[in-house]
Structure 1
Amino acid sequence: MSAKTMLASLCIIATNVFAQPSSPSVQRSEPFPEPTSGANRLLFMPDGNTLFFNFTPRKGIEVTVYNPNHQVSATTRSSIRSWSNWRMYTSQLRGLYAINGQAVVFLEQQIHLKPALYRLVFDAHSGALLSDTLVARLSRPNLLNHHVVSSNPEEIPSFVIKKDPDSDFYGIAMTNMGTRNAAKRIRVLHFSPHHTLLNDAFFEVPDNHLKYIDVADMHVNADSAVFLATFAYNNGVFYTRNSRIIIGKLQPGHRSFQTSVLEHTANMQVQNAALQYNRQDGHIYLLTTVQSRTTEEKPIMRTNLINRFALLMNVINPDNLTVKNHYFVRHNLLDTYAQQHLQYKYPYYGEIQDFRLNPDGSVQLLMEETDVTTRTIYDSTLLHFKTPTTNTITHLGGIGLVKLGADGKELDGYAIAKDQRAEAFINTFALNKRNQSGWTFRAADNWMNLSGFCSYDFFSADGRDYVIYNDYPSNKENTSERYRSQKTVYQMSRTNTVCAVYDGHQINKTWLYGEPAAGESRFTQMEMIARKPDGKSFATMMIERKEGHKQAYIVWVTL
């Protein structure tokens, strides 16, 4: 072999070596006992600290502060002054943000059957509770005034809180279900980073024939505007009638919303939505699900054999609220991949869980198969009374990832076989709302609810997709992609966290926390994942099981 040939061969080998994706970097905290009650969250602070929140009905709120070197610098336990700690179980998380250098938690609580929103401010260095303030209280809900638009009949949030991703301004949208007056149903507050009220306005429906209105989603653009998407409709016997999507903008100095009716959504039964602002092209992207029976578009999603949905993307000019483009999503490449690799007999029908706007103008759709069932069990007593107990179970199946171009056409699509069982209702856009709205609060009556460990998360870094989820070792080591070969995950404590890497051609699966020994498990609490702005770094809680003994760690991961 000549010197030139040998040199060329060495260059090729070196190129192949350096082209291989590096393993994710994982740093652990010191171990601590696994939290088996309450709810947990993580929050990155601008100064490099990481705050670990443990919300419990007995001990109040415990905050552990990790410094930039991932060492514990403080631990503080606080009690809420506005209401008793035992009421924590009935509260709902509505937001957790770093605002003005402090950690701010928004909790919704029922006070005398009236929805109330509290703002809790914590010191970023000590973790101490600095203040808890009642922000708003609404009238007692009258469910006769409400027709449930969401596909989850239990999910009717009274408060929606959104913070601008690029600043510390935030907004609060309140839905008063105690009134029949549509003009007084939705109220929006716009706040500065110092919690100063900048604006306060009701969202009025421009069409007087539409009697009902609900919040779909919201975006805050610093101090310049609050954008609100809403569902407006009338009640039918079995479904909504004369429905429309109405989008509005609230600007400083204006006491009312500028509104626009999306006429192309007329009479569509739109059920769920997620809104994002694209800073690359300066437009608003509103993604909505549509009942297939109210449109001629072919359904691409379903939650059971009856409920089938199409997926509609709306691209809106934020200046005048006109629709620049709208299109129904089609994912033929995903269908083909699922049929060829996972051996599906039918198209992929997973429902939308989130979407991401990429710097190159493309749109990434995150989908997941769901099948929601309910089961009622009657417990007989010695007095022959039967007490009904209803359990909701969601089967979470295959993961579907779709990339769309700026024109809405599918550029790529692939699927990953997965089969999990969660004893909870997993709603549409669950990944979009999981970290900031609602929580899995483990207590005596639902300690088996481990849905916070289910589903998956998605990251994109250095031209590769990273999909994170918990699975049995036998499923990961199974060389067949066939979906029927997957063993259903019932015991989360027997799983390990999979990191599936897609490079545009093939999928390679590794263990995120290293190769487990026989009988060992290391799994992630998915709902606790906190992201850094770089898009490829996150923190979460990892549970490690060895010889039947479990310990928890906070882990910091860089992909």
Structure 2
Amino acid sequence: MKYLKCLFLLAILSAVFSAATGQVPVVSLSADFNVPDDGWDKLLQLRNGNTCYLNFSRKSGLIVTMYNSKHELTAVDTTAARLWKADDLESSELDGIFEINGQPVIFIQQLVKNLPVLYRLVLDPVSGKLQQEDKLGELPSVQHRSVLVDDNLASHDFFVEKDPRSDHYAIAAFTGTPIQKNDSLRTRITVTHYGPQHAVLNKGLFYLADTAYNYFSYINMAVSGDRIYLSTVGFNTKKETGNNVSRVLFSVLSPDSATFSHQLLNTGREPGNVSGAVQYLPALDQVRLLLHIPGQQTDGNSGSEIFQFSASTGKLRKHANLVFPELDRNAQTNLGYQQPFKGTPQRWRTNEDGSSVLLLENLSFFKQGNSQVNKFHTNFGDLGIAMLDSSGRENNTVAISKYQVVTGICEPFQLQRRVKSEWVFRNKIAALNTNTYMSYDFVQIPNASFVLFNDYLQYLETGGAERTRKPLKYPVDANFVCYRFYNGKMDRLFLFGTPETTKGYACLMGAADYDASSKVYATILISRKGLERKANIAWIQF
């Protein structure tokens, strides 16, 4: 009996200890490897338990490294593509990297004699070797005059979105060149629907039968198995005879149709520079569209609104403006704000019950230097997170101070795009390609939440006495921090060790991949000790 009693007490103590420490992330590291060359990096945690590491390098092309479920290195392969030119990364643009049918699939554009050409690369999920390569389409030359009216730019690009539930995906091809006399308005925009085996299921034409609008700016797209939902801004130049007031459109391609059905949305003032996200909620038979219109952002208006549609009919059910009074109070109390928190939406994650999480970030822009290429810069300022109920009202909020700077202009919803690895090679100077280190990420598990980002830790230099906060500009100054929100408290964790003046730990935020089912966040860790630097894959178990 004493033995059983002892076991019982040990079980209780073990449970208490687990409850107290279970919210502390546990880190596993791969074997060391060299710090990646300038380019782009992406991790995929595959359903077979393997982790696929894609390194797009200016020097070496595409290198694929595979790790098994025990985090052991199993294969390394340099992709020998026939169509896509791996040695011309500077003219390439990533449109998405997904797991489709259990395989890593890369959608990548490349300029070929000034024509944007889209390729699809399918990799083996065990060896990482290239299994299939296809040319999916091309657009007219980029050497044309851009069509820009009232901050609305006619899209001239490919866009790829995947259904996370069924592995169906869609590719939208937008032609945004000025309309010529003999051009067909019906074929300037096409959307192709693919199944998990990469077979074409449908191809839809996107146009308005009454030609009310002739130019369109892409906002976002969602795929729900057999249907495609697309949001755009329609507008005209002074040459067209249609409507002279731009409008947001919500459009649906049904499986039995070769053309989209459309409805015009009422967004108040004439919309310009619109961004947004489309999300499909099958349990509620809903599609939701979150729009952000900067021109409508005032002290009493966040500039963001949500539209709810029937997934089966595409008809509008409900529309509401988003307001964040709790986030405003949080920023005033914890960050010393005197005005409302005017963050820009960076990512919107919806849950099956209609609740959602909106990641916001204060963005500001400035010019510095005389270079035409590198004179524009973006400040990534304080972050705000709003956890919303199914009606769009705040349940909880997070506000944290941070300060980062990158070269180039950052547009809204860049985290939404970064998750699927949309990326454009911009700077030939490696030191300026710091975007993958910047901004932040957010992980939620039962009873705890975590905010992750690289920070410039001033106290390493000044003991915290610096009055004016310095921005994080360069990777060498970056240190990865994890803010944990647990039991009503916030604390800061250093998951890889406490940074010091001579050593630090930074993560490639752009390379990260979070598996919600296993609660594992995979990223690339860059460690420095003195002048020595090394890299590891880091699997963080939340």
Give the TM-score normalised by the residue count of structure 2: 0.89
Q: How many Å apart are 1:297 and its aligned residue?
A: 8.6
Q: Given that residues 93 and 106 in structure 1 are in contact (C-alpha distance below 8 angstroms), is that contact kept between their aligned partners in structure 2? A: yes
Q: Residue 373 in 1 paired to residue 353 in 2?
A: no
Q: Given that residues 155 and 217 in structure 2 are in contact (C-alpha distance below 8 angstroms), is that contact kept between their aligned partners in structure 1? A: no
Q: Pick one of 343, 346, 355 that aligns with 1:350.
A: 343
Q: Residue 137 in 1 paired to residue 138 in 2?
A: yes
For the residues of structure 2 that align with 1:324 and 1:260, how far apart are their CA atoms? 12
Q: Which residue of 1 aligns with 2:71?
A: 70
For the residues of structure 2 that align with 1:45 and 1:70, how far apart are their CA atoms? 12
Q: Which residue of 1 aligns with 2:476?
A: 493
For the residues of structure 2 that align with 1:423 and 1:364, how far apart are their CA atoms? 28
Q: Which residue of 1 aligns with 2:445?
A: 461
Q: Which residue of 1 aligns with 2:232?
A: 230
Q: How many Å apart are 1:406 and its aligned residue?
A: 1.8
Q: Which residue of 2 aligns with 1:40?
A: 41
SS in 2 for 1:89: helix
Q: Which residue of 2 aligns with 1:174?
A: 173
Q: Which residue of 1 aligns with 2:7?
A: none
Q: Residue 341 in 1 paired to residue 334 in 2?
A: yes
Bigger shift: residues 394-403 or 502-511: 502-511
How has the CA–CA distance of structure 1 residues 336 and 296 changed in structure 2, closer, same or farther, with 3 Å as cutoff?
closer
Q: Residue 271 in 1 paired to residue 271 in 2?
A: no
Q: Pick one of 186, 200, 203 that aligns with 1:200.
A: 203
Bigger shift: residues 347-356 or 533-542: 533-542
Q: Given that residues 147 and 177 in structure 2 are in contact (C-alpha distance below 8 angstroms), is that contact kept between their aligned partners in structure 1? A: no
For the residues of structure 1 that align with 2:252 and 2:87, how far apart are their CA atoms? 39
For the residues of structure 1 that align with 2:13 and 2:524, how far apart are their CA atoms? 40
Q: How many Å apart are 1:247 and its aligned residue?
A: 1.6
Per-residue deviation, residues 285-332 of structure 1 (Å, max 9, x unmatched): 111112435x999343xxxxxxxxx11111111122122211111111
Q: Given that residues 370 and 395 in structure 1 are in contact (C-alpha distance below 8 angstroms), is that contact kept between their aligned partners in structure 2? A: yes
Q: How many Å apart are 1:93 and its aligned residue?
A: 0.3
Q: Which residue of 2 aligns with 1:286?
A: 289
Opposite residue 186 of structure 1, the aligned amino acid is I
Q: Given that residues 162 and 220 in structure 1 are in contact (C-alpha distance below 8 angstroms), is that contact kept between their aligned partners in structure 2? A: yes
Bigger shift: residues 85-94 or 244-253: 244-253
Per-residue deviation, residues 416-449 of structure 1 (Å, max 9, x unmatched): 0101111232211011001324326486434432
Q: How many Å apart are 1:366 and its aligned residue?
A: 0.5
Q: Residue 392 in 1 paired to residue 387 in 2?
A: no
Q: Which residue of 2 aligns with 1:316?
A: 309
Q: Percent identity?
A: 28
Q: How many Å apart are 1:84 and its aligned residue?
A: 3.4
SS in 2 for 1:459: strand
Q: How many Å apart are 1:467 and its aligned residue?
A: 0.5
SS in 2 for 1:340: helix
Instruction: Give the root-mean-square deviation of aligned CA atoms.
Output: 3.2
Number of residue-to-residue matches in the alignment: 527
How has the CA–CA distance of structure 1 residues 28 and 12 changed in structure 2, closer, same or farther, with 3 Å as cutoff?
closer
The 5-angstrom pairing of residues 75-474 of structure 1 reads 75-141=76-142, 143-144=144-145, 146-147=147-148, 156=155, 158-178=157-177, 180=179, 182-222=185-225, 224-235=226-237, 242-264=245-267, 267-269=270-272, 271-292=274-295, 298-300=300-302, 310-377=303-370, 390-439=374-423, 441=425, 444-474=428-458
Bigger shift: residues 25-34 or 94-103: 94-103
Per-residue deviation, residues 505-531 of structure 1 (Å, max 9, x unmatched): 332111122333552111110011112
For the residues of structure 2 that align with 1:506 and 1:17, how far apart are their CA atoms? 18
For the residues of structure 2 that align with 1:433 and 1:478, how far apart are their CA atoms? 37
How has the CA–CA distance of structure 1 residues 299 and 484 changed in structure 2, closer, same or farther, with 3 Å as cutoff?
farther
Per-residue deviation, residues 1-20 of structure 1 (Å, max 9, x unmatched): xxxxxxxxxx9998698356
How has the CA–CA distance of structure 1 residues 447 and 477 changed in structure 2, closer, same or farther, with 3 Å as cutoff?
closer
Q: Given that residues 42 and 421 in structure 2 are in contact (C-alpha distance below 8 angstroms), is that contact kept between their aligned partners in structure 1? A: no
SS in 2 for 1:525: strand
Bigger shift: residues 22-31 or 84-93: 84-93
Q: Residue 59 in 1 paired to residue 52 in 2?
A: no
Q: How many Å apart are 1:354 and its aligned residue?
A: 0.8
Q: Which runs of 5+ in 1 are unaligned?
A: 1-10, 301-309, 379-387
Opposite residue 160 of structure 2, the aligned amino acid is I
Q: Given that residues 95 and 423 in structure 2 are in contact (C-alpha distance below 8 angstroms), is that contact kept between their aligned partners in structure 1? A: no
How has the CA–CA distance of structure 1 residues 206 and 505 changed in structure 2, closer, same or farther, with 3 Å as cutoff?
farther
Opposite residue 195 of structure 1, the aligned amino acid is H
For the residues of structure 1 that align with 2:463 and 2:355, how far apart are their CA atoms? 32
Q: How many Å apart are 1:489 and its aligned residue?
A: 1.6
For the residues of structure 2 that align with 1:296 and 1:339, how far apart are their CA atoms? 17
Q: Which runs of 5+ in 2 are unaligned?
A: 1-11
Per-residue deviation, residues 462-521 of structure 1 (Å, max 9, x unmatched): 1322110011344699999x9976432233223321111123733211112233355211
For the residues of structure 1 that align with 2:163 and 2:150, how far apart are their CA atoms? 26
Per-residue deviation, residues 58-83 of structure 1 (Å, max 9, x unmatched): 32211111111111111111232114
SS in 2 for 1:529: strand
How has the CA–CA distance of structure 1 residues 15 and 81 changed in structure 2, closer, same or farther, with 3 Å as cutoff?
closer
Per-residue deviation, residues 85-133 of structure 1 (Å, max 9, x unmatched): 3322210000111122322111011111111101111111111122321
Q: How many Å apart are 1:197 and its aligned residue?
A: 0.8
Per-residue deviation, residues 380-403 of structure 1 (Å, max 9, x unmatched): xxxxxxxx5542211111010112
Deviating beyond 6 angstroms after TM superposition, the runs of 4 or more aligned structure 1 residues are 11-14, 148-151, 475-480
Opposite residue 354 of structure 1, the aligned amino acid is R
Q: How many Å apart are 1:264 and its aligned residue?
A: 4.7
